[in-house]
Each structure stands twice: as C-alpha cells, then as structure tokens.
Amino acid sequence: MSDTMQLRQEMVETCRKMNASGINQGTSGNLSVRNAEGFLITPTSLPYDLMQPEDLIQMKFSGEYEGARRPSSEWRFHRDILKARQDIDVVLHCHSVYATTLACHHKTIPSFHYMTGVAGGTTIRCAKYATFGTQALSDNALEALQDRLACLLGQHGQISLGKTLSSALWLAIEVETLARLYVQALTLGEPPILSDEEMGRVLQQMKNMSYGLAPDLEGVNDTARAANAS
C-alpha cells in the first residue's frame, strides 16, 4: 500500500472512530490532513460508515480540488488553519454534544479543571458565530485558536488540532470530556477557577512531560535518575 493510500485509509478509520467514540453523529463533522500537495479532506454529505479512501478529496491551498466528490463545506477553515499553523498537520471538527451545548451559549471553558491546559492555554475559547462554510467562520475560528490547539465554535461545535490523527482525535475527546464536566459542575453553581499562576505551572508541567514522559516539578525523578546513573 502506498503512503498516500495508507494516509487515506487512516483518515477513514479516524472518522469512524469519531462516531464510535460518540463525539460525532451522522454526516456532521469533517477531517483534514496536510500532505505534499496541500491537504486531504473528507467529502461533503457522505456517512463515515460508507466512506472509502478514494472518496477523500485532494485540495490545494488555492481552493482547487481533485476528486469525484465535493469537499466538506467547511474546507475554508481547514485550509486557513493548516496554512496559518505550521505546528500542526491535522484539523478535526465535530459536533460533540457537551462541547456544542456550551457553544450554543457562547461559553468559553475556563480553567475550572487543570486539564483545560491540554488545549494549550488557560481557557478553551468559544469563537463568535458565523454561518457554516463561510470565510467569516474561518476568520473567527483562527482568532479563537490563537495560541491554542482547540476551540468551540459559537452555536456550532468544536475544532481540535494535532500533529497526528491520533493526537487530534485524543484532544477532541478530551475537549468533550471537559465540556461535559463543566456542564455538570455548573449545575452546582459556578465552579472555582484555577489562577493563571497555577495554570502556568500546569502548562509548564505538561510541556516538560510531553504529558507523561518527564520529571515532576520538584525534580525528584531527576534526582533519582542521577543517583541511579552514578
């Protein structure tokens, strides 16, 4: 199997995982991955369980595309995000229930829980509403994603970014989990918010660890490692 066909197959599998995980339903949501020719993107109005690798659309950053089907109606924000963000290669969009619930109220997810930091900052912002498929929606998404790996889209859904398909899917599921926790926490009243100072420590810890690979903040593991090496 060629590298291109393997990537197409992995994209189809990721789309099906989106539905299987519960973060997406029916034909909503879309997925894109950067490649040498521009980016591959899912087609419009095709259920994921019927989608085949050859159904994916090859697009250029100019907006031209190749394939028997039309690209997702949201191709503009996929193109613009991939063009603006050289740090990522995957854009995943879905209408997960709890994230969309918050988006319908234009609510940003604050640092009520330290895991909010997985999106790259102290909050997961909600972009202003704009009609789906428009340049205005793309512009709003880019603004909300500044220095972030995820955002909500006002009265629409969520976007999660990643270097790989697996990392983007993982983040989308984490965003949905955080959204669900926040909705449930709000039933008891506004939850306390972690300070920017504490979130700074959280973000540094996450960066140091690459989430699970490095020492704790106090350097205990470094000390132990050095002792074992001596």
Q: Are the C-beta atoms of residues 229 and 221 closer than 8 Å to each other?
A: no
CA 129/CA 107 separation, integer angstroms: 12
Q: Are the C-beta atoms of residues 29 and 47 closer than 8 Å to each other?
A: no
DSSP bridge partners of 152: 126, 158
CA 209/CA 220 separation, integer angstroms: 13
Q: Which long-range contacts (CB under 8 A, 24 or more apart) does 40-46 make?
A: 40/7, 40/8, 40/11, 41/71, 41/72, 41/75, 41/78, 42/11, 42/15, 42/71, 42/72, 43/67, 43/69, 43/70, 43/71, 43/72, 44/69, 44/70, 44/71, 44/72, 44/73
Residue 46 DSSP symbol: -
DSSP bridge partners of 33: 40, 90
CA 103/CA 206 separation, integer angstroms: 26
User: Catalytic pick from 10, 66, 74, 198?
Assistant: 74
Active site (annotated) includes residue 74: yes
Mind telling me the catalytic residues? 74
